[in-house]
Structure 1
């Protein structure tokens, strides 16, 4: 490696030119990366609901109704005119209202009350709208312009459109906020006024390179797009900090800048690569998920960390060599106190801290598995947002409702009619739009107009559009999906198809819950293996992985003990992210402990280790925590907001455990660590004392 680093510092201009060209290309490419905001698009290809959606798109010109629009203070005549206006909007494929279920020319008082009140109640008209997914944003805007702010709309298409626009704005706001806050943290913890700008600038280049290289994927998920840059900044900042501190140490020993940089690179390569590799593994574990947001984020973030490492080892040394005179000129006294007192304080608490830590392991591990989870997109917006408020208004008047489409082989209208009757007998099914319900099994298809017929009958299938009085997800909804599928199977075997947001969410739940244990075990096993090889120890990987995993369990058990729900996507992602990101702190502290322990006693080693590593750990942890808080507070998207919340709390918990518990675990297990670590040479106070005593006696005899 030394020859490689010598080549880097000898060709500084070449490095600068290469990265400048790469930045320009990446800036252009980043504008061409598409972002997908639809969670259901990331279901595995073979799931039942995905197959159903694909088949429906082949057979029919329209998809599932995906929006509800409520307009108040309308007469029946006005409601019919509003339906026409909605139908004329570009991007609206279909609008269903009361006139599709009954003859609105007759007095409504004579019609079935339940049917009427599904669409028209207290002068409020509720339309079921099918929006073209390729035109969601512009269509939702057009509907809003038509109905005005005082009226309401909700549904999957509206959720996705709002999420797309809001997240784009919020990501920019987060970046504008995180940069000055990160600078403030770095100014506080660095020894020069220019260092924070250099650190932030180098990682900013890495983020730009990663964003541009995402073009290789064509499209990335909204989670990756929103959280990727913030996570890359927060997670990989410490690599640059480690190298900078090593460079300063070498220069303080009197080495020339060029030689100091080469030596700093050689000495820090092991710890930086170990930290980087564990982080890459944490993200790469997501690639093994069947739920495609996992591979989407895993690939992009593993690449991001790799690019950050390349930037740290190639570009950042060159920047430091060009700018070290400026660093010297802008040097200032430390703004933080010496952490020796903090180290001595920890030695008084570390053993009790380990005992408390042990008490938390089992209940938190059990608690985090029993959370109430949300799997789909139905709860991503709170009632504090306009769409959340609109959804509540609609549900307060018309109740909860969503649509499912059951497709069965066409041809046997009598069988379809009996199936429809059985479906109507389900209390949750409020209405069915189908050929046998609206035209009647006894009416020949030749007598039905083609426009109506094409919505219900295709070349191979008959379509039953079910409106169900149920949440989009939850135990009752999932039980209903199972009941509908079981009923359809009794009539058609495996030839039926069921599509809809609830069906997709059911399959999403079924898919990602199976992903969890496998992904976590692989991530833990891989990180353990990296630590085993890099630390050459059997006990240290156990200590570090147990410490960080327990921090994850505590973090994820909080919603269980506070009776809050958790988005399962956030739950899955944070498990890998927190492990990969914060195990770096444990590696840094333990590496320094092993180094100092060669020349100092156990207690003195703990004090010196905390004195020399606390600033680095706190700097990185503060940035990661702040990034999480900003994502939590700024984002209106529930998944992103909760991911930020879990990231902030998880980082804080990991940091507390690294600074207070791991020192105690190393202190208590000192002999075990020495015996199970290859090449360890711990300082022995008794041997040293006997050696000094013997040396003194020999001196007296002479």
Structure 2
């Protein structure tokens, strides 16, 4: 009997070829990339810049003051003030101790003004301050070492009842660095833990959650190395804030992309026997939406390059790098890992070939209520968002430098005590620089300015003279800001003096002014660019307008909730000047992200024959669950920022997290769906879908 030969089964027509080695090649490539990137990750912390002057543009007066100070004898000085206090009044021995230790500091460090610093008692005799400026300190490490040493010197062997604190700009810088050092590690650990928990809850699998988390980790390492390269090549300004925001954005967006891909892959595993075939189909189905989504977020972030503020303009490319690398990893490494692991990675809920999917999500069932009362749903949603937005009227005023931390460091406590003990004059001088041959005129003009208590010339060199100007009002108060503006206006009239007004308070004023200018430029730019991207993707003008209006409403409502929470509940004394612009960019870019998934699927359903109303419900039914999961993950990662000890990160994290949740559970399923239901196919105007009747459903 002749032998019977069995030919291998043939792949069905149109199925992808079996390339068994491709997933392993992709995994090997990413291993090489990580190996190259790891040595550069730790170097990023060395080039981060967190001083106010690093945030400001070169054109700002306060920035120019620092640049000129660098050329003066002793360079840019490190301002410190030692504050002694005893309830009931300082004794003669206390004042003698303060003078002795001031002399010791003068012997140890090169002071800008030679000789022992003066001990200045307060009017009530309970407090004394010893201000001085150390010259010649190069870099943050030397400043921190000097602050630590001075604190140890003045605090040793104090008599009972006498307290001492060291404040001033140099001490505040040191305390800020101590806080920032803990931020990166804490943020990474907490973010990883939260994402891991949410993935386990979402997938209900002891193994599957590891693959997205591993992929996000690869993207994080690669992103940090790329950002370091950008700093070296383009002298990009990277701050603790921008690095922290990139971390949560990368973990949040990367996990969202993973959720969407895995959901589609699970769906395709029920239709295809081979995991490789299912993955190929899943990538073809969701890659366009993921590319458009990441591209929109990156485009919105790149708009920040138009900002004058260095911290904001630097955040743009930093965030864009994180998002794009997260996308690259989720479209290459994660699919390779899933294919290699096969169906068993979903255990115990393994999707069977030919099996049925799960029923409708709770979100989809809730959204279906729109069909019964679309006008009421839309009106109620708009009214609710508008009412919440009124909370913005309760936002606290501009954040002072001293109020930048959730907990009160020693430097801030010292300056608060000084403000109470010396109410008739500011204890933190403004720094005025003028040409030496006009210094006397500038001193006289400054002293005659309303709101100025005293003005005295200091060191000189290279044709410039430094002048200390003391205002009558509390540092960084509205009254002192008004004094700074009046001082600048008056000194500008001193011909030939080229006077510049700087110092810590002037830097805060310049930060607020620069942020205000950036908002008027960047916000319209983001709206126009995102609208154009959406119009090209959806081939319509009405649908993009609805999406943009919806995410803007979510942002306004989230900002309003912040106004009800920041001061009354969290006790935050001010609003960071950059918070409004940055939260707008993130809320719009990330909110539109989910709108792309919903509207793109709705357009597909329309093209498939459903009328626009039914297509809206079908899109919500198929994408609602995964969008809800993605929204929770993204909100949770940004909420991690709200747990950190830095006020601007707390505010950014809170507003973005609340905005994402509002967009996910209110705006997307109700407001947008109701608007689409009421508009019918006009939502696609002027595209072809607005004129084309569906083939198998009732029309409108």
1:528-607 pair list within 5 angstroms: 528-559=531-562, 564=567, 565-597=574-606, 598-600=608-610, 604-607=614-617
Match of residue 465 from structure 1: 468
| 5+ long unaligned stretches in structure 1 | 105-114, 435-454, 690-702
The separation in 2 between residues aligned to 1:329 and 1:649, in whole angstroms, is: 33
Q: Residue 29 of structure 1: which of 40, 61, 69 is its match?
A: 40
Match of residue 107 from structure 1: none
Q: Residue 406 of structure 1: which of 432, 435, 443 is its match?
A: 432
The separation in 1 between residues aligned to 2:463 and 2:475, in whole angstroms, is: 28
Q: For this pair of structures, how many residues does the alignment match?
A: 647
Q: Does 1:161 align with 2:174?
A: yes
Q: Residue 70 of structure 2: which of 57, 60, 65 is its match?
A: 57
Match of residue 694 from structure 1: none
1:177-199: CA deviation from partner (whole Å, max 9, x where unpaired): 22222222222222643222111
The separation in 1 between residues aligned to 2:448 and 2:169, in whole angstroms, is: 27
1:197-221: CA deviation from partner (whole Å, max 9, x where unpaired): 1111111110111011121114621
Match of residue 285 from structure 2: 267
Q: Residue 249 of structure 1: which of 267, 285, 288 is its match?
A: 267
Query: Compared with structure 1, are the counterparts of its residues 162 and 213 closer, same or farther at alpha carbon in structure 2 (3 Å cutoff)?
Result: same
Q: Residue 124 of structure 1: which of 117, 123, 128 is its match?
A: 128
1:256-304: CA deviation from partner (whole Å, max 9, x where unpaired): 2222211211111211111111110121111111111112111111111
Query: Compared with structure 1, are the counterparts of its residues 96 and 427 closer, same or farther at alpha carbon in structure 2 (3 Å cutoff)?
Result: farther
Q: Secondary structure at the match of 1:60?
A: coil
Contact 2:547–2:592 (CA under 8 A) maintained in structure 1 = yes
Q: Secondary structure at the match of 2:575?
A: strand
Q: Residue 668 of structure 2: which of 646, 654, 658 is its match?
A: 658
Contact 1:282–1:527 (CA under 8 A) maintained in structure 2 = yes
Q: Does 1:38 align with 2:56?
A: no
TM-score under structure 1 normalisation?
0.84
The separation in 2 between residues aligned to 1:668 and 1:69, in whole angstroms, is: 68
The separation in 1 between residues aligned to 2:55 and 2:540, in whole angstroms, is: 40
Contact 2:294–2:327 (CA under 8 A) maintained in structure 1 = yes
The separation in 2 between residues aligned to 1:604 and 1:566, in whole angstroms, is: 44
Match of residue 278 from structure 1: 296
What is the root-mean-square deviation of aligned Cα atoms in Å? 3.3
Greater fraction helix:
1
Match of residue 697 from structure 1: none
Query: Compared with structure 1, are the counterparts of its residues 84 and 184 closer, same or farther at alpha carbon in structure 2 (3 Å cutoff)?
Result: same
Q: Does 1:172 align with 2:185?
A: yes
Q: Secondary structure at the match of 1:46?
A: coil
Q: Residue 504 of structure 1: which of 507, 518, 524 is its match?
A: 507
The separation in 2 between residues aligned to 1:402 and 1:7, in whole angstroms, is: 72
Query: Compared with structure 1, are the counterparts of its residues 378 and 600 closer, same or farther at alpha carbon in structure 2 (3 Å cutoff)?
Result: same
Match of residue 394 from structure 1: 418
| 5+ long unaligned stretches in structure 2 | 1-13, 157-162, 352-356, 568-573
The separation in 1 between residues aligned to 2:629 and 2:509, in whole angstroms, is: 42
1:228-627 pair list within 5 angstroms: 228-331=246-349, 338-339=361-362, 340-345=364-369, 347-348=371-372, 350-359=374-383, 373-374=397-398, 377-382=401-406, 384-399=408-423, 400-411=426-437, 416=440, 419-426=442-449, 428-434=451-457, 456-493=459-496, 495-559=498-562, 564=567, 565-597=574-606, 598-600=608-610, 604-627=614-637
Query: Compared with structure 1, are the counterparts of its residues 37 and 87 closer, same or farther at alpha carbon in structure 2 (3 Å cutoff)?
Result: farther
Query: Relative to structure 2, which stretch is displaced further, 252-261 or 356-365?
Result: 356-365
Query: Relative to structure 2, which stretch is displaced further, 268-277 or 364-373?
Result: 364-373
The separation in 1 between residues aligned to 2:374 and 2:188, in whole angstroms, is: 37
How far is 1:154 from its partner? 2.7
Contact 1:408–1:492 (CA under 8 A) maintained in structure 2 = no
Q: Secondary structure at the match of 1:491?
A: coil
Q: Secondary structure at the match of 1:402?
A: coil
The separation in 1 between residues aligned to 2:695 and 2:204, in whole angstroms, is: 35
TM-score under structure 2 normalisation?
0.84
Q: Secondary structure at the match of 2:48?
A: strand
How far is 1:650 from its partner? 1.7
Contact 1:89–1:142 (CA under 8 A) maintained in structure 2 = no
Q: Secondary structure at the match of 2:129?
A: strand
The separation in 1 between residues aligned to 2:217 and 2:150, in whole angstroms, is: 40
Match of residue 148 from structure 2: 141
Query: Relative to structure 2, which stretch is displaced further, 195-204 or 348-357?
Result: 348-357
Query: Relative to structure 2, which stretch is displaced further, 536-545 or 8-17?
Result: 8-17
Query: Compared with structure 1, are the counterparts of its residues 9 and 362 closer, same or farther at alpha carbon in structure 2 (3 Å cutoff)?
Result: farther
Q: Secondary structure at the match of 1:432?
A: strand
Q: Secondary structure at the match of 2:246?
A: helix
Q: Secondary structure at the match of 1:676?
A: coil
How far is 1:57 from its partner? 1.6
Contact 1:589–1:609 (CA under 8 A) maintained in structure 2 = yes
1:78-157 pair list within 5 angstroms: 78-88=97-107, 93-94=111-112, 117=122, 121-122=125-126, 124-130=128-134, 132=137, 134=139, 135-148=142-155, 150-157=163-170
Q: Secondary structure at the match of 2:466?
A: strand
Q: Does 1:647 align with 2:660?
A: no
Query: Relative to structure 2, which stretch is displaced further, 160-169 or 592-601?
Result: 592-601
Query: Compared with structure 1, are the counterparts of its residues 587 and 350 closer, same or farther at alpha carbon in structure 2 (3 Å cutoff)?
Result: farther
1:54-79: CA deviation from partner (whole Å, max 9, x where unpaired): 12221332425533321335633322
Q: Does 1:13 align with 2:24?
A: yes
How far is 1:674 from its partner? 4.4
Query: Compared with structure 1, are the counterparts of its residues 608 and 571 closer, same or farther at alpha carbon in structure 2 (3 Å cutoff)?
Result: same
Contact 1:224–1:296 (CA under 8 A) maintained in structure 2 = yes
The separation in 1 between residues aligned to 2:19 and 2:56, in whole angstroms, is: 45
Q: Secondary structure at the match of 2:35?
A: helix
Q: Secondary structure at the match of 1:125?
A: strand
Contact 1:56–1:63 (CA under 8 A) maintained in structure 2 = yes
Q: Does 1:208 align with 2:218?
A: no
Query: Compared with structure 1, are the counterparts of its residues 206 and 371 closer, same or farther at alpha carbon in structure 2 (3 Å cutoff)?
Result: same
The separation in 2 between residues aligned to 1:7 and 1:349, in whole angstroms, is: 51
The separation in 2 between residues aligned to 1:382 and 1:126, in whole angstroms, is: 27
Query: Relative to structure 2, which stretch is displaced further, 462-471 or 663-672?
Result: 462-471
